[in-house]
Copies of this chain bind each other. A is one copy, B any other.
Amino acid sequence: MPLSLGDLATRFGCELIGDPDVVIHDVAPLDAADEHSLTFLANSAFRPKLAKTKAAAVVLRADDAAECPAAALIAEDPYVCYARMAAVIRPAPRHEPGRDPTAVVAGDADVAASAYLAAHAVVGERSVVGEDVYVGPGCVVGPDCVLGRGTRLIAKVTLVRNVQIGERCTLHPGAVIGADGFGNAMTPEGWVKVPQLGGVRIGDDVEIGANSTVDCGTLDDTVIEDGVRIDNLCMIAHNVVIGAHTAMASMTGISGSTIIGKRCIFSGQSGTVGHITICDDVIVGAQGAVTKDVTEPGMYASVIPVEPAKIWSKRLARLRRLGNLHKRIARLEKGDD
């Protein structure tokens, strides 16, 4: 949606240095923006690109404004301000109400007139599809699910059964919500499946990435609170609770019954064991393994960065001779007596 710089400044509470009547049609990176585009400078590392930008306007901090060759929109947090402006200038595509003739809907499902069901979508028994909901092509909404107002299943999302999703959520393709948790009891004859009877409750404004999985609870529900952001290929096991506004980068795995606080951040390929509690405001580094309760906010890590393989191989050998080192030092200390 085209907007004048004056409108943008007013709407988002920025100071504008420049012509308020210039109209913005698009957003673009600093080095590709043209005279109809808005761009931003959030990271000083990109300052050299600022001088050369051909953008109509740049969202930036006050102390970068002097060097801006275009109109400047001053913001305390230019990245957040840009994100909000971009969502207005280039809004997510709207759907028409209705349903594709190939959608299959159970007779007792309750689909709002303003919702859209795309090609080959399926809605199961007793499920409720709220106002302005978008159920993309090939999505399966199983029985006893609820989709709150404005929620969007992009494509091929599966809600197995008994999944409640709040308002304004986005689930990306291939996400599977509400599949059976991995509950098995060992016997001499092999594994006995523990029936997985709970559901999944997801709050408002949650985003779940492509091909991520959130299992149903065993008896209670698995819970994802408001504002949580889950990237692609993540795994949330049965009975996990994820606190509001926590974010998980790709390939994070949370084992069963673990309780995670609010505003935590899990970096890529990190994971936790099951049945632990992690407090609010914990940041876990890439590939980090959380193996017990975390009770103090802060950053946690255990990653070993790669090194040339020959060097790593020596280091590993030395690590394995540490016991020998301990003994030799003890001997030396004794000798010193």
Known contacts being A209-B179, A271-B269, is A191 close to B306, with CB within 8 Å? no
Q: Mark A123-152, 1 if CB is under 8 A from B, else 0.
A: 000000000000011101010000000000
Which positions 81-107 of chain A face chain B at CB distance < 8 Å?
82-84, 86-87, 90, 92, 100, 102, 104
Does A231 reach chain B (CB closer than 8 Å)? yes
Inter-chain contacts of A207 with B (CB < 8 A): 180, 193
Docked pose: A287 CA to B32 CA in angstroms: 36
**A306/B325 in contact, CB under 8 A:** no
Give the number of times this chain occurs in the complex, counting copies: 3
Does A49 reach chain B (CB closer than 8 Å)? no
Within the complex, the shortest CB–CB distance from A170 to chain B, in Å, comes to: 8
Docked pose: A220 CA to B31 CA in angstroms: 11
Does A329 reach chain B (CB closer than 8 Å)? yes
Q: Mark A298-323, 1 if CB is under 8 A from B, else 0.
A: 11111111111110111110111111
Inter-chain contacts of A176 with B (CB < 8 A): 156, 172-174, 210-211, 232
Q: Mark A267-306, 1 if CB is under 8 A from B, else 0.
A: 0110101000000000111111111100010111111111
Contact among B83, B182, B209 with A209 in the assembled complex (CB-CB below 8 Å): B182
Docked pose: A140 CA to B186 CA in angstroms: 32
Does A20 reach chain B (CB closer than 8 Å)? no
Residue ID in chain B nearest A119 by CB atoms: B104
**B333/A322 in contact, CB under 8 A:** no
Does A201 reach chain B (CB closer than 8 Å)? no
Docked pose: A312 CA to B184 CA in angstroms: 27
Most buried by B among A28, A231, A251: A231
Inter-chain contacts of A69 with B (CB < 8 A): none
Size of the chain A interface, CB-CB below 8 angstroms: 123
**B292/A301 in contact, CB under 8 A:** no
A residues near B (Cβ < 8 Å) are: 27-29, 32, 77, 79-80, 82-84, 86-87, 90, 92, 100, 102, 104, 118-120, 122, 136-138, 140, 142, 154-156, 158, 160, 170, 172-174, 176, 179-180, 182-187, 190-195, 197, 205, 207, 209-211, 213, 215, 219-220, 226-227, 229, 231-233, 235, 237, 244-245, 247, 249-251, 253, 255, 268-269, 271, 273, 283-292, 296, 298-310, 312-316, 318-323, 325-326, 328-329, 332-333, 335-336
